[in-house]
Amino acid sequence: MHTQPILPRAQDLQNKAKRLESVFLSQMLAHAGLDRAAEGMGGGAGAAQFASFLREAQAESMVKAGGIGLSEALFRALVARDGAAKDPGQDSGGTHAA
């Protein structure tokens, strides 16, 4: 199976799309009540801060495991807007330039 290497700009856009999905999932977990776990730790500012770190780590793990598909949609939109994933050796028709 032949796969094309990811160009540096495309890799950067992919990383940013994954980070945005992670932030989105972290916020959704907070709104779903995951922050209530801090109440079991005695409450207070320290527990709330720990809960946010835990929520962010869980969101990042979800994205690494495939996420909800948001990062792929964001990546495609960014590439379409930016044109960054194009191989400089290819023209718009997908053939190699001479």
Backbone angles phi, psi at 97, to 5 degrees: -75, 145
Give the mean model confidence (pLDDT) for residues 8-25. 94
Residue 16: pLDDT band with limits 50, 70, 90: very high
Does position 45 have pLDDT exceeding 90, yes or no?
no
What does each C-alpha distance from 68 to 9, 51, 55, 89 come to in angstroms?
A: 23, 22, 16, 33
Backbone angles phi, psi at 74, to 5 degrees: -65, -45
> Which residues, including other chains, have CB under 8 Å from residue 23's CB and lie 6 or more apart?
59
Which two three-digit tokens encode residue 16?
Answer: 């940013």
Does position 35 have pLDDT exceeding 70, yes or no?
no
> Which residues, including other chains, have CB under 8 Å from residue 1's CB and lie 6 or more apart?
none
- Res 73: pLDDT: 95
Domain locations in the chain as residue ranges:
8-82
